[in-house]
Amino acid sequence: MGKATGFLEFTRTDSKAEKPLDRIKNYNEFHVPLSEEHRREQAARCMDCGVPFCQNGKMLCGMISGCPLNNLIPEWNDLLYRGQKDQALSRLLMTNNFPEFTSRVCPALCEKACICGVYDSPVTVKENENAIIEYGFLNGVIKPQIPETRSGKKVAVIGSGPAGLAVADTLNKRGHSVTVFERSDRAGGLLMYGIPNMKLEKHIIDRRTDLMKAEGVEFRLGTDVGKDITSDEILKEFDAVVLACGSSNPRDIKAEGRDAEGIYFAVDFLKATTKSFLDSGLNDGKYISAKDKNVVIIGGGDTGNDCVGTSVRHGCRSVVQLEMMPKLPDERAADNPFPEWPKVCKTDYGQEEAIAVFGHDPRIYCTTVKEFIKDESGKLKAIKTVKLEFVTDPASGRKVPREIAGSEEVLPCELCLIAAGFLGCQSYIAEAFGTELDGRTNVKTEAGKHYTSVDKVFTAGDMHIGQSLVVRAIREGRDAAAEVDEYLMGYTQLR
């Protein structure tokens, strides 16, 4: 696949990013695409490796290795190298409903499993994918595909995040009539309000949902199922229902002073900024501002990084990101071999920007919050932290954190953002439909299945498997759609 000697002739070249001090002046995406010639060279680096782990998408040691969608990566890299973009686009869309999303926000599981990266740098799979799908949109190759015949079956999808959209898109193309219910004012779920604009500009989502509408999918926005419309009404109107409402219960931090004014969940902070930006360019003031504040972010994942980048754009006075875990190594450890996901330290865009503005990495490792300190009026003014060490628990044999005596430190803080992950779905939707929840408060199904304990009701995405990646949500949506199709028709060709 690609040019047989391409990986020897061409070095990896990524799209250039605007310099941090320039890009923080706005909320736009900040990567400049390569020229067509250089993009074809990058596709040529995809070697005839024999075993393309990049498209494997399997769990190894509790981590995913390769693309969960099983994208035909060597095939469309070869076609991109040869200049056959229409065919490359066709191959890409065979396995991925929304390459314009994954090519922007996916952590590139494919690249971490690229054999070319064992002794050199992996192929630029993510950027190649983006070049193919954007070619399709910009050149009018992607057009509404309206089913020639309809099955007469009606499906309700509750939630318009990546899983819900994947269910709706797949079932609509199959010929079923699909209605998507979304409680927010805009479609997209996590994609719209959970991911900042500089990672995914929102016209990209609108472009896709407009296409889906043209293909026959109906969107009922501002409709909170279980509140604005009952589950009984939906079950009566539709032949099947798919719950895809995400994992939206944020994990809280229990510490003295938690009731102080100025502590917010990261998801609320990010959503408010994005909504205000889309509604008014942040001129309405209806967002949680970090301007001139000392910001402390609790959590070291992608959401925490997004909070760093957003706080910097607000004009914060300082920003600190607390991580309970130790810093990961800069290179693969011996006990973390290829093709496992590499457990290495990465410096993401928000951290790069904080370094450029403040001169140091915002992350503090092996540290947690011990107390939120309030002023006389109840507003947050500082945070007391404590260092952690990890010791072996005799009962379980696992490493557990333990506070280090005398390691407390007080950090000035007027705004604290909790980005400690999520604990499962909001229960009112599950209760409305009578579905069971598992021990992690996700909707319960048989292993590997999406059919719930309630007739006609299925589930998909984070609501089913817990907090995960956009690419896994799309996989979930496609798999759930196949089950729904088989339920409705007695057979399916979607697998």
Domain boundaries, the chain: 6-138, 154-247+423-489, 263-418
> 281 Cβ partners below 8 Å, 6+ apart?
none
Position 4 confidence tier, pLDDT thresholds 50, 70, 90:
confident
Q: How far apart are the first and last CA of the chain?
A: 25
pLDDT at residue 2 is higher than 80? no
User: Which tens digit of pLDDT belongs to each residue from 195-233?
Assistant: 999 999 999 999 999 999 999 999 999 999 999 999 999
Average of per-residue pLDDT values in the chain: 96
Can you tell me the distance from the alpha carbon of 38 to that of 43, in angstroms, rounded to the nearest whole number?
9
Would you state the pLDDT for residue 332? 92
pLDDT at residue 146 is higher than 90? yes
What is the crossing angle of helices 470-489 and 162-174, to 10°? Answer: 40
Mean pLDDT for 96-122 is 96
Contact 100, 201 (CB under 8 A): no
Output 395 or 485, whichever has higher pLDDT: 485
| Maximum alpha-carbon separation in the chain | 71
Would you state the pLDDT for residue 50? 87
Antiparallel, parallel or unpaired: β 58-60 and 63-65? antiparallel
Mean pLDDT for 438-457 is 95
User: Which tens digit of pLDDT belongs to each residue from 12-45?
Assistant: 999 999 999 999 999 999 999 999 999 999 999 9
Output 238 or 2, whichever has higher pLDDT: 238
Give the residue among 367, 467, 370, 413 at the shortest CA–CA distance from 264.
Answer: 413
Position 257 confidence tier, pLDDT thresholds 50, 70, 90:
very high
> 153 Cβ partners below 8 Å, 6+ apart?
176, 177, 239, 240, 488, 489
Would you state the pLDDT for residue 248? 87
Residue type, 294: N
Name the DSSP letter for residue 331: S
Output 109 or 50, whichever has higher pLDDT: 109
pTM across the whole model: 0.96
Mean pLDDT for 161-174 is 98
Q: Which CATH code for domain 263-418?
A: 3.50.50.60
Would you state the pLDDT for residue 474? 98
User: Which tens digit of pLDDT belongs to each residue from 452-478?
Assistant: 999 999 999 999 999 999 999 999 999
pLDDT at residue 431 is higher than 90? yes
Would you state the pLDDT for residue 3? 86
CATH class of 154-247+423-489: alpha beta
At which residue do the structure tokens 């589930």 appear? 459
Q: Which CATH code for domain 6-138?
A: 1.10.1060.10
Mean pLDDT for 377-403 is 95
* Domain 154-247+423-489 and domain 263-418 have a common topology: yes
Position 1 confidence tier, pLDDT thresholds 50, 70, 90:
low
Would you state the pLDDT for residue 424? 87
Contact 74, 46 (CB under 8 A): yes
